[in-house]
Amino acid sequence: MADVNRRWLLAQRPSGNLKDSDFAFVREAVPVPGDGEFLVKVTHLSFDPTQRGWLQADSYLPAVKIGEVVRAGAAGEVVVSNNPKFPVGTKVQGAFGWQDYCITDGKGFWPTAALFPGVTPEQALGIFGTTGLTAYFGLLDVGQPKAGEVVLISGAAGATGSIVGQIAKAIGCTAIGIAGGKAKCDWVTGTAGFDACIDYKSEPVAQRIRQLAPKGVNVVFENVGGEILDAALGNLAMHARVVLCGGISSYNAASADEIVGIKNYMAITVNRARMEGFIVLDYAPRFGEGVQALAKWMAEGKITSAEDIQHGLENAPSTLRRLFEGKNFGKQLLAL
Ligand SMILES: NC(=O)c1ccc[n+]([C@@H]2O[C@H](COP(=O)([O-])OP(=O)(O)OC[C@H]3O[C@@H](n4cnc5c(N)ncnc54)[C@H](OP(=O)(O)O)[C@@H]3O)[C@@H](O)[C@H]2O)c1
């Protein structure tokens, strides 16, 4: 075991695009666990657009404080333990943050094998972590799609969006994705099995939605916001459901003036539609149900998950930036 714990701390509140100088890379002694505590060697970090918000301000979780380790979901292995529930060798997951080692009493952490035996750390943070569960509960509980309906998904080649479309297909819906670039759109239709994918970087989005769904879209699963959400609202079917999962196009805005608002909001009234947000953490009591359903679809070959794995703790800031540069393909992870 190394005797140094490398850690990324928040150095300042970011403004606009994330910079290396927003973070400080420090080396500290590996902490020694006290009574009831254990030490985790972090093996994989999860990267999620919401981390950008955690660095900025209090929201559904308190903001990371200046000087604190950067918060992130992670997987690891217990290497020293004074806690009989987490013996040495246990694979665990939780919000360990951007560091080599994390000390904990186990509250808010759980053995990875509790999901099901044989699950990999990559799957535990992706398809069977909050990413896959966001897709599952956001689409099925909030979107309430019925077989035969049309589901439109932005961020379709991303971690969440790619699973949403595959669930939609598994339950008999038509899935139309929106993603940036030909390679991503080809993957969305070819590998993830969506019926169509609109390249928002080279195609007129509103017009293409109208061509692909002439009777309107029944469910919009929104990950991007701004102009893309507006194009979707202009193409709603009667009684459509708009699931506001996220709005990544605005997360790097330095001020509200840089955020593109929606113009087509009256389409919600005219179509008697519903637009609703949700936070996946509220579904924690039902996570087991989601994991089981996702595992079943995976075993049946109806869902495939893509992971984009970068390497080296020193690359944590640039790995987070990949999400906002559209560089990630599927779930963004970093192996330590
Ligand atoms: N509500 C919840 O509980 C919850 C939970 C998890 C995630 N989320 C939200 O779900 C969304 C997807 O998260 P994820 O973890 O699955 O990330 P992701 O989709 O794997 O990665 C982000 C993707 O967003 C796209 N993007 C980035 N900047 C963009 C911009 N300015 N305009 C259009 N597209 C842009 C890029 O794809 P392209 O190359 O295709 O542009 C990028 O690959 C995020 O909005 C996130 O905040 C919400």
All structural domains of the chain, each given as residue ranges with its CATH number in brackets, are: 4-126+305-335 (3.90.180.10), 130-282+292-296 (3.40.50.720)
Sign of CA dihedral 226, 231, 234, 240: negative
**Secondary structure class of 300 (helix, strand, coil):** coil
Please, are residues 85 and 106 in contact by the beta-carbon 8 Å criterion? Answer: yes
| Nearest CA residue ID for atom 44, ligand 1 | 246
If you measure from the C-alpha of residue 161 to the centroid of ligand 1, how many angstroms do you get, rounded to a whole number?
8
If you measure from the C-alpha of residue 43 to the centroid of ligand 1, how many angstroms do you get, rounded to a whole number?
24
Task: Tell me how crowded residue 32 is: count the other CB atoms within 10 A of its CB.
Answer: 10
Pocket probe mutation, ligand 1, options 131, 160, 329, max atoms within 8 Å of Cβ: 160
If you measure from the C-alpha of residue 159 to the centroid of ligand 1, how many angstroms do you get, rounded to a whole number?
8
Q: Which of 27, 26, 28, 22 is nearest to 10 (CA)?
A: 22
**Rounded distance, CA 298 to CA 293, Å?**
9
**The total number of residues written for the chain in this structure:** 336
Q: Which of 57, 59, 46 is nearest to 14 (CA)?
A: 57
What is the gyration radius of the CA atoms in the chain, in angstroms? 20
Residue with tokens 């660095």: 55
Angle, helix 130-137 to helix 287-299, in steps of 10 degrees? 90
Residue with tokens 């009667």: 238
| Nearest CA residue ID for atom 29, ligand 1 | 249
Per-residue confidence of the chain (336 residues) as pLDDT tens digits? 778 999 999 999 999 999 999 999 999 999 999 999 999 999 999 999 999 999 999 999 999 999 999 999 999 999 999 999 999 999 999 999 999 999 999 888 888 878 778 899 999 999 999 999 999 999 999 999 999 999 999 999 999 999 999 999 999 999 999 999 999 999 999 999 999 999 999 999 999 999 999 999 999 999 999 999 999 999 999 999 999 999 999 999 989 999 999 999 999 999 999 999 999 999 999 999 999 999 999 999 999 999 999 999 999 999 999 999 999 989 999 999
Residue 189: both structure tokens together: 């239709």
If you measure from the C-alpha of residue 185 to the centroid of ligand 1, how many angstroms do you get, rounded to a whole number?
15
If you measure from the C-alpha of residue 224 to the centroid of ligand 1, how many angstroms do you get, rounded to a whole number?
6
Residue with tokens 């993957």: 187
Round to the nearest angstrom and report the end-to-end CA distance of the chain: 14
Please, are residues 303 and 141 in contact by the beta-carbon 8 Å criterion? Answer: no
List, as one string, the DSSP characters of 196-257.
EEEETTTS-HHHHHHHH-TT-EEEEEESS-HHHHHHHHTTEEEEEEEEE---GGGTT-SSGG
Please, are residues 110 and 92 in contact by the beta-carbon 8 Å criterion? Answer: yes
Residues with CB under 6 A from ligand 1: 48-50, 130-131, 134, 155, 157-161, 179-180, 184, 223-224, 245-249, 278-280, 323-324, 326, 328, 332
The half-sphere exposure of 62 on its side-chain side, counting CA atoms within 13 A, is 4
Indicate which atom in ligand 1 lies nearest the CA of residue 328. 43
If you measure from the C-alpha of residue 89 to the centroid of ligand 1, how many angstroms do you get, rounded to a whole number?
34
If you measure from the C-alpha of residue 306 to the centroid of ligand 1, how many angstroms do you get, rounded to a whole number?
14
